[in-house]
Chains A and B, each alone.
Chain A
């Protein structure tokens, strides 16, 4: 069965420091994609970064990078140089090619950036 697990309900980070948000997944399908979304207090889910299961390199998008360890089935999000505006809920999600684009989401991690 497919499953996404985020074990950190809440995280704190000092402004300008880097932070890693954990995500592990479980699937028997060899072809899948991993997504990270940010949800600020306004509620809108904002797409951050994507990693395909066959991608050889870790994905990067500006200050966001994905530490993809396929053998461990983990896809941790790394945010470098944290900013106050990074305070939000962060959700890891997985989609599989044979699921018609459906995503399953983890429980989320609430990140608080301290000045």
Chain B
């Protein structure tokens, strides 16, 4: 199997607070995880690549000081949205890479809906 969990599934917070989202690979180890953001009716936008034991690689235009990523173990990556503002409201989803038969496939978590008031 290839199951990825994400917690919380939804969160509502006040502007200025920080929110942490966890992404776990439950039945496999993932040296690489990815974080995406998706606005309504749009495609997934890659925010960063999370590598176990090293710093995350951020895509152009993504503020690394605002979106803190930590990949502390082979089964857990966290995304912290610091000092969240209403424009950060979005659907955040993570994926974990699993290699099988020479093929690397990304398996996604169920996503986290963030609403910043």
Contacts and interface: CB of A to CB of B under 8 A. Distances in A.
Interface of A: 33, 35, 37, 42-47, 50, 52, 91, 95, 100-108
Interface residues of B, number: 23
What is the predominant secondary structure among interface residues of chain A facing chain B?
Answer: strand
Nearest to B4: A44
A107 B107 contact: no
Interface stretch (B12-20, B42-50, B64-72): B42-50
A47 B97 CA distance: 12
16 contacts: A33-B103, A35-B106, A37-B108, A43-B93, A45-B111, A47-B105, A47-B107, A47-B108, A50-B103, A95-B104, A100-B32, A100-B57, A101-B104, A103-B34, A106-B43, A107-B42
Contact of B43 (A33, A46, A50, A91): A91
Given A47-B106, A101-B34, A101-B106, 9 more contacts: A35-B106, A43-B91, A44-B93, A44-B110, A45-B93, A45-B108, A47-B105, A47-B108, A95-B106
Nearest to A100: B49
